[in-house]
Amino acid sequence: MKENVMIQRAAPAYIRKLFRFSSPHLQVECRYYTAQVATSLRPCAHSDDEECPVVDWDKLGFGFMPTDYMYITKNSDVAGNFEQGQLNRYENIQLSPSAGVLNYGQGLFEGTKAYRQDNGGLSLFRPRENAIRMQIGAERMCMPYPSTDQFVDAVKQTALANKRWIPPPGKGSLYIRPLLFGSGSILGLAPAPEYTFLVYASPVGNYFKEGTAPLNLYVDEDFHRASRGGAGGVKSITNYAPVLRAIRNARERGFSDVLYLDSVNKKYIEEVSSCNIFVVKGKVISTPIACGTILEGVTRKSIMVIAIDLGYQVEERLIEADELISADEVFCTGTAVGVAPVGSITYKGQRIEYKIRSELVCKKLYSTLVGIQKGHIEDKKDWIVDIE
């Protein structure tokens, strides 16, 4: 197909050459040429360019779709400093069988999004928060990490280089996945001698197959996502494969996902497989306190601030699963899922139903969040980073 031929085409030579130098002058020049290349990659919705990606934006789910470029760099010295990164065509990478990430799971990932606004501008949402969270995770996993500025610049470059893949307003977003992993060879249990920081992207729509329909969750009392003293509070790659069995079991029974309990008392809710959870009772919005077993999501933080601004009382605390029975409303948040209402939760064989109505608190919060992301509502907190 024509688009496959386009994806395999070699990148302009001057991009690769300029990225090999590191003087301040050439770094600026490099960013200029990168922007020039990205400018020619116009999205289908705004151009008749024959090289527009052939995508049915209305049917966009959360499946992986290869885009054009990825950003990559490695740490260059024993101090853990990372080299000036470069944009390469998206392709497979070479990795030793003895790489630290393959043998001992020494790796982290982040998730953020680029949006196309109604005026045609492109923006990111709070990427510095992702950079800081990766740094916290890297400290926990004994890994060097890129600076906040280098992280944000890498995300910007990746978004711009793939901007023709950013869906039209209201059709989705460009999901950007930064990775940090031990790429150096290691046999004994120890930190890897070399690390790679890589950023790739894919256009996405709704995370769950239900789309915007309410989620049906299952409280699993046998499987646990994290334990005290572990790495549940950071975005380690090791946190996700262990929950696949629980997710599969739940989906085979018709549920959307799993809500996990704490592993010690087995009575406090923690989070869903890939998102945080909130419980609403009157004007009080509660979410499980982040105490090392819960990932502090960027969307979670943002929703908490928005809720306070809208006059709600927000609490971070231990929430017993029994409280779900009397809750007015329950919803999930995450970069991938956005803000998703929960229609039911099944706990100890009892199915708890929640009324789904137009005046849901989560819909009001989500509407404000999306309004800020798309530029409809004034960004008074400097959350938005314009990239074009």
Q: Can you read off the two tokens belonging to residue 182?
A: 């031990």
- The CA distance from 192 to 99, in Å, is 7
- The CA distance from 126 to 112, in Å, is 8
Is residue 183 within 8 Å of residue 100, measured between CB atoms?
A: yes
Looking up tokens 């990490």, which residue turns up? 145
Q: How many CB atoms lie within 10 A of CB 259?
A: 26
Is residue 354 within 8 Å of residue 87, measured between CB atoms?
A: no
Q: Can you read off the two tokens belonging to residue 312?
A: 């709600």
Task: Tell me which of 113, 163, 235, 374 is the catalytic residue.
Answer: 235
Q: Please confirm, yes or no, whether 283 is among the known catalytic residues.
A: no
Task: For 48-111, list the strands marked E by DSSP.
Answer: 69-74, 86-89, 107-109
All residues at 6 or more sequence positions from 263 whose CB lies less than 8 Å from its CB, including other chains: 224, 226, 227, 228, 293
Task: Determine the 3-state secondary structure of 216 from DSSP.
Answer: strand
* DSSP labels, 236-259: BGGGTGGGHHHHHHHHHTT-SEEE
Active site positions, annotated: 235
